[in-house]
């Protein structure tokens, strides 16, 4: 175990820089906080360093003992945290797909994390994010997944290209929309299905809606639309794999 007491230490500066997306992208590293998430990261084999200001409960080779001031600088959590892990991003390749979701411009990290967690909960195989969807490795998004990000491929890219490829693989692609759409009980299940959920304010882009095989809406009373994470949960549950 190595001790670090200076806020100006090079490692501390490097780890603190991971609060920024550009540095996470550049290094391929991100931070997770707390025992539950670190346990999930250890099980996934993506932990590089563990940082603590108390005793470390893990039998891990690279552990750094730091001061409370350093821990406070590294943590983005409003509650007191005593364990932080530096993790490398997983190189996840999807396979055996039959249920996936596509996220078009989702901006709130909490929504993104909840959608990823829900996808894992209902046995979906992958999450595809548009290039303007918020970063999965944002602290709030990581915490909102509750460790689910270590259990499912989350791929960022051009959704039109991804959708085109999914169609070639036999997927039925369904865009969520309030206009010219069908209720869920009017859209039958198929073996391979992909669902597009859109930006919190603007919904799914018109070009993606036009290219989809069908459009879906959730039948409701009193309001026209739901929070994207809530809507995603309803749709994913309804069309979850039944085997």
Per DSSP, the residues of the chain read -EEE--TT-HHHHHHHHTTSHHHHHHHSEEEEESHHHHHHHHHHT-EEEEEESS---S--S-EEEE-HHHHHHH---SS---EEEEEEPP-----S-SEEEEEES---HHHHHHHHHHHHHTT--EEEE-TTSPPTTSHHHHHHHTTGGGSS-EEES-HHHHHHHHHHTTPEEEEE-SSS-EEGGGS---SSEEEEEEBTTTBS-HHHHHHSSEEEE---SS-S---HHHHHHHHHHHT----
- Residues 6+ away with beta carbon under 8 Å from 94: 100, 125, 126, 153, 155
What confidence score (pLDDT) does residue 188 get? 93
- Alpha carbon 62 to chain centroid distance? 26
What confidence score (pLDDT) does residue 222 get? 65
pLDDT at 232 over 90: yes
Q: Bridge-partner residues for 47, per DSSP?
A: 87
Task: State whether CATH 3.30.1330.30 applies to domain 2-88.
Answer: yes
Q: Bridge-partner residues for 83, per DSSP?
A: 52
The CATH number for 99-238, chosen from 3.40.50.1370, 1.20.58.390, 3.40.50.1820, 3.40.1280.10, is: 3.40.1280.10
Q: What are 57-96's pLDDT values in tens digits? A: 999 999 999 999 999 999 998 788 999 999 999 887 787 7
How far is 148 from 151, CA to CA, in rounded Å? Answer: 5
Q: What are 129-183's pLDDT values in tens digits? A: 999 999 999 999 999 999 999 999 999 999 999 999 999 999 999 999 888 888 8
The DSSP bridge pattern shows strands 83-88 and 172-176 to be: unpaired
The full set of domain ranges for the chain reads: 2-88, 99-238
How far is 96 from 177, CA to CA, in rounded Å? Answer: 28
User: Within 13 Å and on the Cβ side, how many CA atoms surround 150?
Assistant: 20
What confidence score (pLDDT) does residue 242 get? 83
The DSSP bridge pattern shows strands 47-52 and 83-88 to be: antiparallel
Average pLDDT of the chain, as a whole number = 93
Which burial class, exposed, middle or buried, applies to 27 when counting CB atoms under 10 A from its CB (0-12, 13-18, 19+)? middle
pLDDT at 243 over 90: no
């Amino acid at each position: 175990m190595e001790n670090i007491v200076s806020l100006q230490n090079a490692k501390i500066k490097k780890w603190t820089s991971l609060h920024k997306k550009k540095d996470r992208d550049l290094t391929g590293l991100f931070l997770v906080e707390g025992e539950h998430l670190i346990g999930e990261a250890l099980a996934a084999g993506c932990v590089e360093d563990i940082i603590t200001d108390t005793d470390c409960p893990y039998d891990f080779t690279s552990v750094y003992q730091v001061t409370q001031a350093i821990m406070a600088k590294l943590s983005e959590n409003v509650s007191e945290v005593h364990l932080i892990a530096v993790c490398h991003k997983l190189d996840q390749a999807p396979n055996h797909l039959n249920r996936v979701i596509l996220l078009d411009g989702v901006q709130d990290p909490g929504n993104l994390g909840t959608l990823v967690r829900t996808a894992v909960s209902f046995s979906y195989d992958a999450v595809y994010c548009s290039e303007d969807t918020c970063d999965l490795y944002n602290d709030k998004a990581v915490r909102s997944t509750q460790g689910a990000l270590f259990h499912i491929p989350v791929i960022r890219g051009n959704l039109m290209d991804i959708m085109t490829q999914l169609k070639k693989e036999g997927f039925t692609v369904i865009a969520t929309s309030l206009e010219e759409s069908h209720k869920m009980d009017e859209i039958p299940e198929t073996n391979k299905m992909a669902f597009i959920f859109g930006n919190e304010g603007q919904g799914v882009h018109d070009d993606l809606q036009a290219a989809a095989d069908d459009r879906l809406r959730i039948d409701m009373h009193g309001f026209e639309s739901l929070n994207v994470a809530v809507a995603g949960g309803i749709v994913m549950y309804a069309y979850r794999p039944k085997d």
